[in-house]
Amino acid sequence: MPRRRNHTHTARLENLRIRLHDWAVTLVPGLTAHQAKGREWDVVGVYLTGAERESLRRGLSSDSEDHRKLYVALTRAKRMTMDVSG
């Protein structure tokens, strides 16, 4: 005898089905700067800390590993990079 459907599970599966069907619109990859290196997207959202914003105001230095990582993250966009940290 088959088990009764569990509404919670079927609702989750339905949500997943919808997201997979419209993957180009609804799924956004979340990657570290290391994972994104060498790849590009039309638009990139970057979560910047206060210290990173200040570094950008003062200018990045190629001598700083943190600045190099920030540079990689900010240069993955073909058209636009957005600060999504609020």
Per-residue pLDDT of the chain (86 residues; tens, 9 = 90+): 667 777 777 888 888 887 777 655 555 678 888 888 888 888 888 999 999 999 999 999 999 999 999 999 999 999 999 998 87
CB 66 within 8 A of CB 34: no
Q: Where are the domains of the chain?
A: 7-83
pLDDT at res. 56: 96
| Predicted local confidence at residue 70, as pLDDT | 93
pTM as predicted: 0.62
Cα–Cα distances in Å, from 39 out to 21, 33, 76?
24, 10, 6
